[in-house]
Structure 1
């Protein structure tokens, strides 16, 4: 066990509040969970040494940062600063059918109901999910009433400052026939630690449009996850965008709990320098007649490293399943590294499934062609890189967010030099 984790457990043992019943269960599980090493399969390519070396404070100075403005994006803004929830977020008027609760100040009845929901979707195998269980104090619950469609999005922003620890937790419930857009944003590039976990309960016939922008860079350490449970005929459309940092990992889980549900997951990551980005995605097809479409792309430059593990598990009774998983990667340097492991684990016999992974480099003939037409080499590289990713940006349902992320992607491409 690491020194940092020992200190975290000691802090959790000294905390007593409404979450104590959950905290005690997760603490017991943590004590029986070994600290990951290179021999731990789920962490084989991702080292935690940067966390062990980091100088962090559970009580950092006040963070006065503000969320980045997104012109034209209509949203209810929920803000965490260094892990503490900004209560001013709750002063905005909400439409009928939308309820947002800050659980530490909620009624005892609400707290008790939330205890029954807490960590019921996020699998217990996630080490930093357990750590979030025991360290999270500022918990927010979002619920949309049955049959209600909320036109404005919910934007959840985590602002993480120097040497700070941020352990945020959000639970989102869409009742039958409800619809909602949620956009998660993680900002900060200084030495810090963020474990941001969100659980989504998408009930029958409900629809969730989801985004996670894991845009922390440089010295930031980000270890979080988003976890979804889909009821009958539920629909999920999720987009994940990741930049690398000293240590960045996202765990995502999709669990089918009702028939005829559909999930589409698009993800792309852009890495440079010595950055690391690790995406572990697991899909549990536990019932028949469901569909998963998963498309993941990565571009890795310099000495950066990407890790992707995509597992689709089709249970014995999950007949008539359609599942497709595709991972495509582009290496811009001889020293860049990509470790990809797409998996299909199938126990049903009446299914349609496919998976694949490719690792390639920029087409030198295409690069030469553009240069021969008077386009500079650096601009030609940006154009080819952007073309590799742009298909997934075009598929984002919210075009305002698509237009907001495009220039950030271009700027990042401009900094990524092709050396092979």
Structure 2
């Protein structure tokens, strides 16, 4: 067990709340696990030395800030600052309840206890860390058959020299529909784990955005975990910017027949940043569909990792699954490790996977510069075009426009081959 965790657990004061039994079992499991190293398969390409050497303040004060919303989009905002809930919405629609962990009702505690650390696989090392240390979080419940008009936005803001661990549990009732945006903010030196577990009931539809936009010195290890029941649907969109260390574990369990999961997104890294996306789709029932398409733009001396796995169990015939990962290296020193996986244990399935790594086509670049476009501007246009189709496909155009602007500004600053 390395310095950071050893020091943290030595100073750990057990949180005596209604989740105490869950925390205790996760603490036991954590102590029996080995610290992730390059010899650990799931961390082969992602060193955690930045965490080992960290000495951040845990449970610091909440600075007085007013969180900016997304342009032209009315959202129901929940704000965490340095691991503490600083804003909960009031006057919620009738079909929605949102409670902090400390204010959860007896009924909310009952369903949360059944799902806490159940949707998230126990194999995730820092997920167990989050189980033990997360003292702040929210429970979100969407009532059966309720169609929520305004998106819920979960903002996780970090400030300089802070450490935080937050937890979200979300339940969509049968036949309900909702949009949830997870938005990470804060580029200063900090460390956070933020874990969300989603229980999506029969015929429910969740539109989900993961905006992992922390950059520069931030260390961020997050998890998004989903259970899909019969005829439920998940539409998830990921945009990731690299930082000192960003890791996202993304898990989907197809538990009911005719469930559908979509994951589309891209990551853009620069300088010496690191971004690691691990996705895992478990098909355990008949007629499930998974479609996942991710792209990477890797610039400067940055390093990106993609590990995508689709696992089809013996009881999941007629599964249709496809996975595609495409990457552009924007400089000679950039690096990508990509590993799509299919693991199939039944017949009568349709599955495909693929990965590509390339650079900008010199003929396309020549075509643009020969028509009077500046060389660097031409590179920006071609790089932006590589990911823009994904932004144009987002269900909420205002989010796509905002992200297009942020992506364009970031591309102007990244280190290219020139």
- TM-score greater than 0.5 by the shorter chain: yes
Question: Corresponding residue for 1:268?
Answer: 266
Matches within 5 A, 1:112-261: 112-261=110-259
Question: Are 1:9 and 1:27, in contact at CA under 8 Å, matched by a contact in 2?
Answer: no
Question: Are 1:54 and 1:191, in contact at CA under 8 Å, matched by a contact in 2?
Answer: no
Secondary structure at the aligned position of 1:51 is classed as helix
Question: Corresponding residue for 1:77?
Answer: 77
Aligned counterpart for 2:96 among listed residues 88, 95, 98: 98
Deviation per CA, 1:359-401, whole angstroms, max 9, x where unpaired? 0001111111111111111211111001110111111111110
Secondary structure at the aligned position of 1:413 is classed as helix
Question: Corresponding residue for 2:44?
Answer: 44
Question: Corresponding residue for 1:289?
Answer: 287
Partners of 1:108 and 1:156 in 2: how far apart?
23
Question: Corresponding residue for 2:401?
Answer: 403
Gaps of 5+ in 1: none
Question: Are 1:202 and 1:228, in contact at CA under 8 Å, matched by a contact in 2?
Answer: yes
Deviation per CA, 1:300-327, whole angstroms, max 9, x where unpaired? 0111000000000001111000000000
Secondary structure at the aligned position of 1:7 is classed as helix
Tell me how far 1:109 sits from its aligned partner: 4.3
Question: Corresponding residue for 2:414?
Answer: 416
Tell me how far 1:111 sits from its aligned partner: 2.5
Question: Corresponding residue for 1:308?
Answer: 306
Secondary structure at the aligned position of 1:388 is classed as helix
Report the CA distance shift for 1:108/1:174 in structure 2 as closer, same or farther (over 3 A). Answer: closer
Partners of 1:356 and 1:195 in 2: how far apart?
30
Question: Are 2:59 and 2:164, in contact at CA under 8 Å, matched by a contact in 1?
Answer: no
Tell me how far 1:13 sits from its aligned partner: 4.5
Secondary structure at the aligned position of 2:38 is classed as coil
Aligned counterpart for 1:349 among listed residues 347, 350, 358: 347
Question: Are 2:271 and 2:415, in contact at CA under 8 Å, matched by a contact in 1?
Answer: no
Partners of 2:348 and 2:111 in 1: how far apart?
39
Q: What is the root-mean-square deviation in Å for CA atoms of aligned residues? A: 1.2
Partners of 2:161 and 2:268 in 1: how far apart?
25
Tell me how far 1:12 sits from its aligned partner: 3.7
Which consecutive segments of 4 or more residues in structure 1 shift more than 4 A?
Answer: none
Partners of 1:60 and 1:103 in 2: how far apart?
19
Question: Are 2:200 and 2:228, in contact at CA under 8 Å, matched by a contact in 1?
Answer: yes
Secondary structure at the aligned position of 1:319 is classed as coil
Number of aligned positions between the proteins: 418
Question: Are 2:62 and 2:84, in contact at CA under 8 Å, matched by a contact in 1?
Answer: no
Partners of 1:236 and 1:186 in 2: how far apart?
21
Partners of 2:76 and 2:139 in 1: how far apart?
14
